[in-house]
Each structure stands twice: as C-alpha cells, then as structure tokens.
Amino acid sequence: MTADNSVIRVVVVGNGMVGHHFVESLINSGQPAHITVLSGEPRLAYDRVHLSSWFTGSRAEDLALTDEATYQQWGINYVLNAKVEGIDRTQKLVTTQQQSYHYDVLVLATGSYPFVPPIPGSDQPHCLVYRTIEDLQAIEESAAQSKVGVVVGGGLLGLEAANALKQAGLKTHVVEFAAQLMAVQLDEGAGTLLREKIEALGVTVHTQKSTQVIEQGQECRYRMVFADGSFLETDMILFSAGIRPSDQLGREAGLGIGERGGIVINNKCQTDDPAIYAIGECALWENRIYGLVAPGYTMARAAVASIAGEELDFAGADMSTKLKLMGVEVGSIGDAHARTPGAQCYTYHNQPQGVYKKLIVDANHSKVLGAVLVGDTSDYDTLLQYCLNDMALPQTPETLILPASGEKPALGADALPATATICSCHNVAKSDIVEAIEGGCASLGEIKACTKASSGCGGCTALLKNVVDSEFEKRGVAVSKALCEHFNHTRQELFHLVKIEQIRSFDALIERHGSGMGCDICKPAVGSILASVWNDYVLNPSNVPLQDTNDTYLGNMQKDGTYSIVPRIPGGEITPAGLIVIGEVAQKYNLYTKITGGQRIDLFGARVEQLPDIWQTLVSAGFETGHAYAKALRTVKSCVGSTWCRYGVQDSVGQAIALEHRYKGLRAPHKIKFAVSGCTRECAEAQSKDIGIIATENGWNLYVCGNGGMKPRHGDLFATDLSTPTLVQYIDRILMFYVKTADRLQRTSVWMDNLEGGLAYLQSVVIDDVLGINSELEAQMQQVIDAYQCEWKTTLASPEAKKRFRQFVNSKQEDTNIQFVDERGQIRPATELEKTPEHARIPVELV
C-alpha cells in the first residue's frame, strides 16, 4: 500500500477461481487500485470444481464465476489469451506477447498444470488431460470417436475424470500406480470399499499398475503396456496423475522456488520480493502446496489484507473434504491415516450396506484427530467441528460413527465455539454469523448475502441453517416455518389442507386458513398446489391471479417482451410432416428457431397477439403445449435405443414417449426432467435428470433426483432391472410423494438432500410402503393424468380467454419497442443502441 493511500497498480496473472476471488476481495476491500487481470485462457474465471457437469449438459456460461460486464462495472482492465512472457522485477514490468504492464503489486495466481508421466507414446492424439474447458471440449470430441477410455490416476481428480468419461458414454477404466484409490485421503479399508462401489457402477479399476509404453492397439486405438507384462487396450487416455505448480514465471524472475516446485511465500503470501505475491496452487507455504480451492481463497484474502495494510495471515488450511464420486459419498478429515504418535482408531464397517467409518482420536481419547467415511457422510459436519475446534469427546467416542441410536450424542450449534469455521470456502466463522445477526440481518438469505456463507461449494448449508436458527431462538425470535405472512403453514401443510378439505381456490384457502390478500410468495405456491391436486385450467378466472407471467401467457417471456413457443415433442421423436409445420410457422411469423437441450424446437420472437394463431396452426397439426413455461414435466429425453443403435438393449424411444404422455401436465414445486437411455452408454444423460432410466438386458435401472445447472447433482440409483409396469408404479409414487412433501420452488435434488433418511427412506416409502400411502399416491397421480388438457387447445376454445392475448386492449398497433436485427440468417432482439434512428432495424410485421 502506498504511503499516501493513492491508487496502486495491481497486476494479477491468472484468472482461475483463486485469481478471481482475489480480484473480488480487493474490490470489496475499498483499497484504491487500478487492477489489470491477465488471463491465459480465452474466457474469464469459471468453476473448475464442477467441470464434470459439462458431460451432463452444462456449458461455459453455466460454469462461469463472472462475466465481462461485471469486470467492466468494477473498472478492471482484463486481457484474455494473455500469455505472460516475463517479469522485470527491477522496472516492475510484466510483459505479454502483445504488451507490457507496470505494477506496484504483482499477484501470481497461475495455478497448476496436470502432470503427464514421461511415458513413451503419451503425446499421441486422444491422449488428453482434464483441467480446462478446452480440455473438456477435446475430451468430448475424442469420446465421440471412441468406445473405451482409460484414466491414469486414481486420486480425487482421477475419479472425477473417470466419471466424466462414463457420462460421455465410454467403457471406462482407472489405472492407479498405488495399491488403492484416493491413497492420500483414505486408509486401506476405505479405499477397498470405494473400489468395490466404483466397480459396481461399471468402472473397472486397475491398481499397482505402472505404464511403460503406449503403443498401437489391436482391438482399440492404443495398447497400454504395464511393467508387470499385462496390458490394457483403449481408444483414449486421460491423464489425471496429479498436478504440478505453474511456477515457471517465478523461476525465470529469480523468486524462491521449493525443491519440488512452487513459489515460496510467507504468511502474508508474499514471495521473497515484497512487491510480488503468489496465491493458490502455484504457491508453496511451509513446504506445502494446497490443491483445494478453499485454502486458495484464504490466501487471496490474506494477500488483499496485506496490500490494504491490514493484519490477516495465512496460517495453513484444513484439507478435509466431503464429496460425491459417481454417486458414492466420501469424506476425509484431518489425520485420516492415524500417523499422529499415540493415535487410536474406532472402525465401523457395514459390508452389506456398503458403509465404512473410521474415527481417529488421540492417545487420551480426548479429541478427534481425523476420520474417514465412505458410503455415508452424514456424520461429516459433526466430526469436522470436533476436529477443527479441539472439542472434548463424549465418554464413548465410538457413538459418533455408529448408526443413529438413542445414545448417539448430538452436536448442536450452541456447542460450537465462536471461532468455529462454518464455511471454509469463504472463511466464515460462527462469530461472523452472530455479528451479521447483531448488525440487523433478519433471515438466512440476508446472512448468506452479508457473509457469503454457503455461496461456495454449498457443503455447509445445513450447518449454517442450524447456527442461524439457534442464534435467532436465543434472541427470542421464533424460527417460523410459515410459507409467508399470510399463511402460518408450510407448503406441505397447505397441500394436505387443499387435498383433505377439497379446496379448489386461493380465496377459499386464505379465508379458512390464512389472512390478508396474499402475496408473490403464497399465490404462486398455492397456484402450484391447486394445479398439482386438481389439474384445473390455469387460466380459469380464479386461477389467473396466482400465475406468474409465463403461465399467464402459456409461453416464456423473453428479454424484449416477446414470447417463445415450445411444442411438445415426446421422446424427441418427430415426423417430417411435423418438422415442416414447425418450419412453416417459424417462417410465416419470422421466428428465431433453436434446438433445445431437451430434444425440442424452441420458437422465439412471437408477439403476444400472435400466440393464439401460432398455437392454432400447431394444434391443428397434432402438437400440444410443451409446458416449457410451467413448473411441470418439461421433457423426456431419449437416445434411439434398440430400434436403431447397435448397442441398445431396450426401446428407449418408445419408453420415453409413453412416460412423457403419462406425466405431461403434472404440476410440481419445480420443473421436472426425465431421460431414458437404451443402454449403459447413457447417450440420453439419464443420470443427470430428476427421473433417469437406463435400459439393461433384464429391464430398467431407475435413477432419481439428479439435475444439471449451476449445482449439478448425480442421480441416485433407486432400483435395478425393473419391469415396465413396476418402473411406472415407482415413478408414480416418487413424483407424487415429491409433490406432496417438497418445499416451494424446491428441485427434486434439493428435496432428496433435505429428506430425512435420504435415499434409503425414499426407497422404504416407495418400495416397502412403510407409510401405507402408496395406494393414495397412485390414485392421486391417476387423477392428475385423467384431468390432463392441452392448455393451448383449451385457450383457443375460449373467446374470453383469448382476450388476454392482445398487446393493447383498444388498438391493433404493435409495440414499437420490439425490434429485431438479422444475425446468422435469423432474427435476434435489437440492443438499445441498435434501436436508435442511426441504426438499421427490422420490425416484425403484424400478422
């Protein structure tokens, strides 16, 4: 920091997750600075933690942590594809291939690069790494030309990469030099169980294998020859054998480098040049490289504090981790290998259920040193807090890992000290949450916004809520579970009231069980409940006030005030005649057309008054509404299955069409997506859907509660080798149980994560009927199916309903704000600049 607090020039080399966090923290600190960010990649920061979601449908925009507009708003000078060629420490100058930049402070956030063992043949095509979005694109391209894939490396990143190959549809192998998987995080017993679980999911594991050469194969593209004389043939090889710090710039600039790499830093994250900082995986602190994002974030904050003249040292970081690998829960805390002198262990191994838990304590049995969990990580948060805060153990420590019983000690929020870290990603302590409440935060959402807790990986969400609820209760604030101020009931309670009392309108419900006039929270929620129970026409006069804009106009409103139209295309199957009709509609009304990720065709740019005429054409040709505007079943995606594909073992298209017709129109707390794959190559990406079905030679495997998007979740395997009648019966029960019990706007994935007892409980409800409600669930689903109607068709038959679809009530004049320009042979909304008289515009004619 300059002595007069003037603006300093900060140059950041690298814009990964840690580099971006540094920039964000520096902006939030208020320190006057002119910031230049040099990104070696063609895009700004994105989420590397969830790279595998690329193979379940996520794209670059879904993974993005920021965008150019945000950096411009912050006043940051950012340069993409900026490869730094050198650092002149004397002149304080950073040079790229295009330009040089002066700095007062230089921050190296260059991260790491994948280690590729020096194996002859490893530089051939289809021998790839797994690190960047460009790597993902290369893997995707290679997978399209391959049948078999091998990951070299059985660590955490290697198993993530294996999951990516499996999701890409390849027969997948993992080759590991060590004797077990995840040898750094897990002990031998946990590693053995993890291997069993991974192999049960269809990934073949090879341990204690050292590859000597990669040569031309006979059955596949390559043959990997191992030191023991055995070999493995594959079409592509993905190296994930660890990382190496990207410290080359530091080396060339003469900075201190560790014996095994890494730019040496002190507690303030400064190198031996006080004007240069290093953070993240390129930095070496106390002879250690930290390969997780949370320690990198802590380094970033320490560097910002030092630049701003504040006191905040980096003092190491906890490397505990909890994750799901291909649906398998894994947790590792502290001294997982019991290497501390005098350490003693408690082990619980339930082989039939596939659960392994190990608790490591000190010689006096007074504190937790570490833990290992495979198959069940429900105790992770409790054990982590015991470990991090040196909390005294109960008299019987083994109860911390034994199955739930009356003797199991509960670790409440009150037992945590003020210094307890609740969110490791953003270094939020319990005291920070208390301070936020004292400062006026009155809800969980406000506390998240204020502290950023639970806005990183999300693993602390449950613990955060417990702490917040406890602190509110201490202050005499009732922790209400009411839907809103107008209903002192949860969504589930309102659902039961509507069903049991045969309530069919919002007015009747609020008169009997609420107060006031309702709001933007309760009206849509009640509208969804009424639709789920009775499936009445959503534009009935009593229902219209409950709908949001999209439901009101039976289409999705776009940014320029026009609407998109998505006809249902069950299973993605469409006749040439149907394609022609859609093309004719798009051409007649000058609509932008796009194939969606759910195997449908989206038509953009329709004016509100054009909607009925467009629907009429589509309905006359046999199309129905695709409910793209509703919290309802959207699509049932499918591959071509056994009908055409040489790998298919079941008719996935026929099954997808039947399921889509059965559940179309089902309204739910949130949107629902299905997929049906005709074989385990999984071309329909079923395991990333709310309901995923994969064909086997003996029937169907059912996966539940997966989703893509910003927080991807792998679906849980619910049941295997089901007949079609049993499959449908289970889906009926699962969906209706979800509709009855989920919170408002809650995806099935979040519902499952919050469901007490999780997957096992859901299986007991659906398969074993422990609640005795399956007949009721099936009858309710049948009632919804019987009440189905195409909302477009119903609207077209109602002159009163059609009156809604006018731009202006008393005029046929068009909305002059809606203007388009040509781009790639189609229309797009004009920008504000393009709407000015100086720019050409293409108004759409009224039809």
pLDDT in tens, 464-492: 877 888 888 787 776 666 777 788 888 88
In whole angstroms, what is the distance from residue 542 CA to residue 507 CA? 8
d(CA 601, CA 583): 10
Q: Which residues of the chain have pLDDT under 70?
A: 1-5, 56-57, 404-412, 455-459, 461-462, 478-481, 709-711, 807-817, 832, 836-847
The confidence score (pLDDT) of residue 661 equals 96
Q: Which residue has the tokens 């119903």?
A: 794
8 A C-beta contact, residue 597 and residue 626: no
CA distance 376 to 400: 13
Longest dimension (CA), the chain: 86
Phi, psi of 19 (to 5 degrees): -60, -40
H or E stretch at 551: helix 549-552
DSSP-derived 3-state class of residue 480: coil
Number of helices (H) and strands (E), helices first, in the chain?
26, 38
Instruction: Report pLDDT digits (tens) over 87-142.
Output: 999 999 999 988 999 999 999 999 999 989 999 999 999 999 988 999 989 998 99
Distance from C-alpha of 44 to C-alpha of 58, rounded to nearest angstrom: 16
Q: Are strands 820-823 and 826-829 parallel, antiparallel or unpaired?
A: antiparallel
Question: How far is 589 from 611, CA to CA, in rounded Å?
Answer: 10
- Domain segments of the chain as ranges: 8-113+245-307, 116-239, 318-411, 414-475, 491-547, 632-787
CA dist 126 to 214, 217, 611, Å?
12, 13, 49
Q: Hey, is 17 helix, strand or coil?
A: helix
Taking the C-alpha atoms of residue 369 and residue 321, their distance in angstroms, rounded to an integer, is 14
* 683 in a known ligand binding site: yes
C-alpha to C-alpha distances, 468 to 299, 388, 389, 619, nearest whole angstrom: 27, 20, 19, 51
Beta strand 283-284 pairing with 321-325: unpaired
Tell whether residue 423 is among the known ligand binding residues: no
Other CB atoms within 10 A of residue 839 CB: 12
Distance between CA atoms of residues 555 and 480, nearest Å: 35
Is there a contact between 269 and 283 (Cβ–Cβ < 8 Å)?
yes
Residue 558 has what pLDDT? 81
Contact 592, 827 (CB under 8 A): yes
Closest by CA position to 44, among listed 58, 64, 18: 64
Which stretch of DSSP H or E encloses residue 107? strand 105-108
Contact predicate 110/275, CB 8 Å? no
Asked if 353 and 331 count as a contact pair (C-beta separation under 8 A), the reply is no
**Rounded to an integer, what distance in angstroms lies between the CA atom of residue 170 and that of residue 220?**
13
Q: Please tell me the distance from the alpha carbon of residue 450 to that of residue 439, in angstroms, as a whole number.
A: 10
Residue 729 CB: number of other CB atoms within 10 A?
18
**pLDDT computed for residue 56 by the predictor:** 66
**CA–CA dist 350, 375 (Å, integer):** 10
pLDDT at 844: 40
User: 127 to each of 138, 147, 374, 398, how far by Cα in Å?
Assistant: 10, 14, 31, 47
Q: Which amino acid is at 571?
A: G
Domain 116-239 matching CATH 1.10.3720.10: the answer reads no
Domain spanning 632-787, CATH architecture = 2-Layer Sandwich (3.30)
- Is 790 annotated to bind ligand? no
Q: Burial letters for 99-131: b for 16+ Cβ neighbours within 10 Å, e otherwise?
A: eebebbbbbbbbbbbbebeebebbeeebbbbbb
State the residue for tokens 């409103």.
557
CA distance 516 to 524: 16
Q: With left for phi above 0 and alpha for psi between -120 and 50, is residue 339 left, alpha or beta?
A: alpha
Architecture in CATH for domain 414-475: Orthogonal Bundle (1.10)
Right CATH number for 318-411 from 3.30.390.30, 3.10.450.50, 1.10.3720.10, 3.40.50.300? 3.30.390.30
Instruction: Name the phi and psi angles at 335, rounded to 5.
Output: -80, 75
Enumerate the β-bridge partners of residue 331: 322, 373
Same fold, 8-113+245-307 and 632-787: no
The pLDDT, as a whole number, for residue 427 is: 76
How far is 89 from 122, CA to CA, in rounded Å? Answer: 37
| pLDDT value, residue 348 | 92
pLDDT of residue 2: 43
Would you state the pLDDT for residue 709? Answer: 67
pTM for this predicted structure: 0.56
- Does domain 8-113+245-307 match CATH 3.50.50.60? yes
**Alpha carbons 567 and 664: distance in angstroms, whole number:** 12
Cα–Cα–Cα angle for 259, 262, 263, nearest 5°? 110
Is residue 679 a known part of a binding site? yes
How far are the Cα atoms of 166, 198, 213, 610 from residue 699, in angstroms, in the given order? Answer: 21, 22, 41, 46
Complete DSSP assignment for 501-528 = TT--SHHHHHHHH--SS--TTHHHHHHH
The CA radius of gyration of the chain, in Å to the nearest whole number, is 29
